[in-house]
Amino acid sequence: MLILLPIGLLLLGSVAILIIDLIRPRFGTSWLIAVVSGVASWLVILFSRLRLPATLDLLSWNNPAHRLTGHFSLLLDYQSWPYVLALMTILLALLLTDAARTRFDSSPRAWVVSLAITALGLFAIQSGTSLTMMIAWVVVDLVELFNLLLLQETTQFNQRIIIAYGVRTASILLLFLGTMLGWAANGDFSFVQVPPSAGFVFMLAAGLRLGVIPLNLPFLVEPVLRRGAGNTLRMAPVAASLTLLARLPGEILMPGSSHLKTVLMALLALAALYAAARWVAAKDEIAGRPYWIVAWASFTTVSVLNGVPQSGIPWGMALILSGSLLFLYHPRIQRINFLLLLGLWGMLGLPFTPAASGWAGLLGDGFTLWTFLLLVAHGLMILGFLEHALKPGSEIGALESWARLVFPLGLIMIIQVSVVLGLFGWPGVLTSGLWWMALISNAMILAALILSRRFGVNPPHFQLPISSRTKKVADWLFPRLEPVFRFEWVYRATWQILGFFSRVRQLMSSIFEGEGGILWTILLLVLLISLLTGGGVN
């Protein structure tokens, strides 16, 4: 029951705030309820680390009379616990930092959404079976769909929302297909032992959902809800997909499918590199958030492909924790800018830091061109983080005294959790790791910093001068690459295919539903009879 408690507490808090907001809106009381339910859930999750792994069976369809298969359960294990804690932490950080965003997007309704989405996210992360995960994904997607559509943004944005929803639905259908394959091979199974036949399709499902296989970025323009609830809305589904990746078996590719692995590695490395480059060049951290997610998610997926899914967890933590540190840092307060630099702790991959255990996932069987590209992408991600973190704030608001206290507290919490996870988040986290990989990456970062200074680009502002040739090339190239990576060509191709089938269908309709349709039917009937009876030969 310990697994369900945080979900229940969050939902209770969400409902309570909604009721208060409907009856007699009180900002302070609502915030307090949100924080209390958040803190209580966070403590329960922290405590549950002592009782891993824990399983809770919810419902079973296994019924011989109905010949149905499948069961629903929640599973809190070493793979899901870090994500559960990370998601809870960013919720709490959101609530604390929201105290300083009362002039922006902070409101009781936004907390209702945040608490509910986090509760659903926890449910999805802790899914013990693919059936549970499918249901959780469906609910999370529907909640997100309705929530985004209610924002009433532009027509263009609504189209993007539906396309993103379509991609998410496709990922659910892949989960459906993977479950079918698993059941066909092994019967009912849980995430503790995912059959290899299902594992590959599950990876595709998670990859599609994360936007990495194939690279797709329907949400290049972020919705109005950008920081508070928007951050949870973006991170909760990502965390659920990352957990699925962490739970996959080591061997998901059939023996002898090395070509497929190469193709996938190439796709992932290029996706990571492109996303990292766009992250560095992004106008601000919110504009760069889709690229931030894609780059780190590519790292996690590569770890699965290399047969070390556990090594994807540190990259997932960097995505969620270090990313949220940046995304929730609004309004900017120059004096505490240094806090953001501590976010690098979770990303640099230096020995005995949380990401040190992640290098094994990127290296796999040996150092290849793709590993090098991934190292470059890693360096770019760090540079981009520095660029966005050290940018001077343009919105330094006059904060109330209590907000001045709790705002940095929210950010410190994220850093603390990152440190704690680096110590005992999951088995094997505290390691020197492949220190030479860290050395190469960090040397490249240093070199980039020095070179950029040489070329007149002074840190922390890595934006190239408008007159520079590189800037001109980038400005020409990126807008042209964007439609490619936005997946629009796939939509157009799908439309073309649908158009072709539509024309064939129209032709058949005109034959079978036209004036002579009944004659065609009778003709085919006679042909069928003659065929089935051997054409009258016997």
Partner 1 sequence: MTLSTPVIWVIFPLVAAAICILLSGRPQLSLIIASAIAFGLAVLAAFLPHELSLGPLTIVLEESLRFLGRRITLVYAMLPLIALLYAATGLWLLSSNLPGVPKTFRPISLVVTAALTAALGVEPFLYAALLIETMVLVSVPMLSSSTIENRRAVLRFLSLMTLAMPFILIAGWLLTGVDTLPPDSPLIAQSAIVLGLGFAIWLAVFPFHSWVPMISQHSHPTVFSFLFFILPTGVLVFGLNFFNRYGFLRTSETLFNIIRLIGVLMIAYGGVSTAVQDHLKRAFGFSVLVETGFSLLAISSASSGGIIWMLMMLPPRALGYWLWGYTLARLESRYDMVLNLKAIQGQSLRFPFLSSGLILAQFSIAGMPLLASFPIKIALLSQVLAENMVSGLWSFFGGLGLFIFTIRLLLSFHQPIDIEIKQPWFLQDKFPHFLPIILTVVILIISGLFPGKIFPSIIDILAAFPQLQFLP
**CB count, 10 Å around CB of 536?**
7
- Rounded CA-CA distance 226/234 in Å is 9
Task: Answer yes or no whether residue 518 interacts with partner 1 by CB under 8 A.
Answer: yes
Contact predicate 310/327, CB 8 Å: no
Shortest distance, position 173 Cβ to partner 1, whole Å: 7
Going by C-alpha positions, the residue among 181, 191, 308, 306 that lies closest to residue 240 is 191
C-alpha pair distances (Å), 414 with each of 91, 96, 228, 325: 10, 11, 15, 7
Selected binder of partner 1 within 29, 55, 158, 452 (CB under 8 A): 158
Shortest distance, position 530 Cβ to partner 1, whole Å: 11
Task: Answer yes or no whether residue 166 interacts with partner 1 by CB under 8 A.
Answer: yes
Task: Answer yes or no whether residue 452 interacts with partner 1 by CB under 8 A.
Answer: no
352: enclosing H helix or E strand: none
* Beta bridge partner(s), residue 215: 212
- Closest CB to partner 1 among 173 and 443? 173
- Token pair belonging to 92: 């709490």
Task: Answer yes or no whether residue 509 interacts with partner 1 by CB under 8 A.
Answer: yes
DSSP 8-state assignment for residue 318: I
Residues of span 167-206 touching partner 1 by CB under 8 A: 169, 172-173, 176-177, 179-181, 183-185
**For partner 1, what does the binding mask look like between residues 50 and 79, x meaning CB under 8 A?**
---------x-x-x-xxxxxx---------
Number of residues engaging partner 1 in binding (CB under 8 A): 57
Task: Answer yes or no whether residue 464 interacts with partner 1 by CB under 8 A.
Answer: no
Shortest distance, position 142 Cβ to partner 1, whole Å: 9
Task: Answer yes or no whether residue 538 interacts with partner 1 by CB under 8 A.
Answer: yes
Task: Answer yes or no whether residue 521 interacts with partner 1 by CB under 8 A.
Answer: yes
Shortest distance, position 333 Cβ to partner 1, whole Å: 36
Q: Give the CB-side neighbour count of residue 317, counting CA atoms within 13 A.
A: 37
CA dihedral sign of residues 360, 364, 368, 372: negative
- Rounded CA-CA distance 150/178 in Å is 33
- Rounded CA-CA distance 284/282 in Å is 5
**For partner 1, what does the binding mask look like between residues 116 and 145, x meaning CB under 8 A?**
---------------x--xx-xxx------
- Closest CB to partner 1 among 201 and 302? 201
- Rounded CA-CA distance 449/469 in Å is 19
Task: Answer yes or no whether residue 519 interacts with partner 1 by CB under 8 A.
Answer: no
DSSP 8-state assignment for residue 127: B
Task: Answer yes or no whether residue 445 interacts with partner 1 by CB under 8 A.
Answer: no
Going by C-alpha positions, the residue among 129, 132, 133, 157 that lies closest to residue 145 is 157
Task: Answer yes or no whether residue 396 interacts with partner 1 by CB under 8 A.
Answer: no
Contact predicate 421/85, CB 8 Å: yes
- Interface residues with partner 1 (CB under 8 A) are 59, 61, 63, 65-70, 131, 134-135, 137-139, 149, 152, 154-155, 158-159, 161-163, 165-166, 169, 172-173, 176-177, 179-181, 183-185, 498-499, 501-502, 505, 509, 512-513, 517-518, 520-522, 524-525, 528-529, 532-533, 538
